Amino acid sequence: MNFKLLFFFAVVLGLFATSSAYPEPNPEPEPEADPEPEPMADPRLKWKHISRGLDVADAAANIAGLWWG
């Protein structure tokens, strides 16, 4: 069984699931006179997104292990 390929597939799928948690923002035209700008959302990666990506990678590894096992 090719575990290196299986591991690579699980890691790529997990990274894809983690990166899809943050969609690309659509740039909006800025207003000309805005006295107080709105606070920016926290752009840091949160643990729930990492956990979701690891769960997807684990599920993919289990499915691939059953498929190729």
Does 26 map to a domain?
no
Q: What is the pLDDT of residue 57?
A: 85
Residue 37 or 9, more confident: 9
Neighbours of 64 (CB within 10 A): 19
Q: In which domain, by residue range, is 15 found?
A: 1-21+46-69
Alpha helices in 1-69 (DSSP H): 3-19, 47-68
Quickly count: other Cβ atoms within 10 Å of residue 14's Cβ.
21
Residues 44 and 62: their CA atoms lie apart, in Å, by 29
pTM to 2 decimal places? 0.39
pLDDT band at 34 (very low <50, low <70, confident <90, very high): low
Residue 60 forms part of a structural domain? yes
Number of independent structural domains in the chain: 1
